[in-house]
Structure 1
Amino acid sequence: MKLNIEKAVFICGSKTKLAEICGVTSQAVSKWTAGKAKISIEYIPGIIQATNGEVTARDLRPDVDWDTIKASL
């Protein structure tokens, strides 16, 4: 997960830019990249969109059962 959020930061250009996209502080993104906090699923669609799908929901939160969530929509 840590490498995947770092990839998202790289694609977006900076932690600050990714934070703006997600509507969080750059400190929150720093916690994500340091592995000190899990990314809340509410921010994942923005990250996917910002990376043009290069970083997926499974990349960011492999602990979530995405198939079940998709099936319930």
Structure 2
Amino acid sequence: MNAISLAIQGAGGPAKVARQCGVSVQAVCFWRDGKRTLPAEHGITLEKMNEGRIRCEQMLPDVDWAYIRSTKPAPLPEVSHG
């Protein structure tokens, strides 16, 4: 069993992962079965759902996770209501 399959299983199965990621159960099964590539943002969700037991680096080794983990989103600009 590959890391993505283990992560999906550890997260509670395809239906639970689909709800958390906002995708169809079929999409999750395609990721699990290797028919589609797991998008990086969903790899992060799966890692969190597994409480870090299965890391993004294991699921998607070709992604530069060191860079992604070191970057922070830019803060949203202040909006004045006046």
TM-score bucket of the superposed structures, by smaller chain: 0.7 to 0.9
Q: What residue ranges of structure 1 are gaps of 5+ in the alignment?
A: none
Deviations 1:23-43 (A, max 9, x none): 111100111011111111121
Greater relative contact order (Cα < 8 A, sep 6+): 1
| Residue matched to 2:43 | 44
**CA-based RMSD:** 1.6
Task: Work out the CA distance in 2 between the residues paired with 1:72 and 1:51.
Answer: 22
Question: Which TM-score applies when normalising by structure 1?
Answer: 0.83
| Residue matched to 2:75 | none
**C-alpha contact 2:5 2:33 (8 A) present in aligned 1:** no
The answer to which structure has the higher helix fraction is 1
Residue 6 of structure 2 is aligned to residue 17 of structure 1 = no
After the TM superposition, which segments of 4 or more aligned residues of structure 1 sit over 6 Å from their partners? none
Please say which structure displays the higher CA radius of gyration.
2
What amino acid is the match of 1:16?
A
| Residue matched to 1:30 | 29
Question: Which TM-score applies when normalising by structure 2?
Answer: 0.75
Count of matched residue positions in the alignment of Structure 1 and Structure 2: 72
Percent identity (aligned): 31
